[in-house]
Amino acid sequence: MDLITLEALQTFPKQLAAHYAAIPTGFKHWAPPSWEGIPSEHFTAIEQICHVRDIEIDGYQIRFARTVSEANPTLPGLDSEGLAKARSYETADAAKVLEAFAEARLATLAFLVSRPPEELKRPAFFEGYGHTSLRGLVHYLCSHDQQHLAGMQWLLGQITDLVLREHK
């Protein structure tokens, strides 16, 4: 696996926590009047971090394991909105969510760096993405991380605009 991708995966938990901390306290559960333009799922700040945790554990960790243990598995996407409702994201404890995510990411990285190079070529079919490999899945995870940092920045932009309008 290339070093830049592994470094991005390794540093992401701290980046996510810092982005979440940048959201003003009164806006952790705030939803904008329109989600137009958000580069991630339509989730509030607390829901964003819960989603990232669950995609790591219930999505990518399982996808990676299946890709190395099964012959060309079909890997389903997850119902993000369904998970948010079923797991009551809006009532989550952010500190616990971020801690669970950081621990899960360490486990993901340990799994990935322990793979022999030939396993990175193992094929899979990822619903919504098409034919891929273990290496491709790693890049999709990294891309997903970046989408959620962008989503948090988008929320910060919306909050800033709202606060400026209210103080005119």
3-state SS of 14-47? HHHHHHHHHCCHHHCCCCCCCCCCCCCCCCCHHH
How far out from the chain centre does Cα 121 lie?
A: 23
Per-residue pLDDT reduced to its tens digit, 57-116: 999 999 999 999 999 999 999 999 999 999 999 999 999 999 999 999 999 999 999 999
For residues 106 and 163, give the distance between their C-alpha atoms in angstroms, rounded to a whole number. 37
* Integer CA distances (angstroms), 124 to 22, 46, 52, 71, 97, in order: 37, 32, 22, 8, 29
Per-residue pLDDT reduced to its tens digit, 10-65: 999 999 999 999 999 999 999 999 999 999 999 999 999 999 999 999 999 999 99
pTM of the model: 0.95
For residues 29 and 88, give the distance between their C-alpha atoms in angstroms, rounded to a whole number. 12
Q: Which residues contact 86 (CB under 8 A, 6 or more apart)?
A: none
Confidence of residue 166 (pLDDT cuts 50, 70, 90): confident
Beta strands in the chain (DSSP E): 74-75, 123-126, 130-133
For residues 93 and 46, give the distance between their C-alpha atoms in angstroms, rounded to a whole number. 9
pLDDT at 168: 59
Contact 73, 125 (CB under 8 A): yes
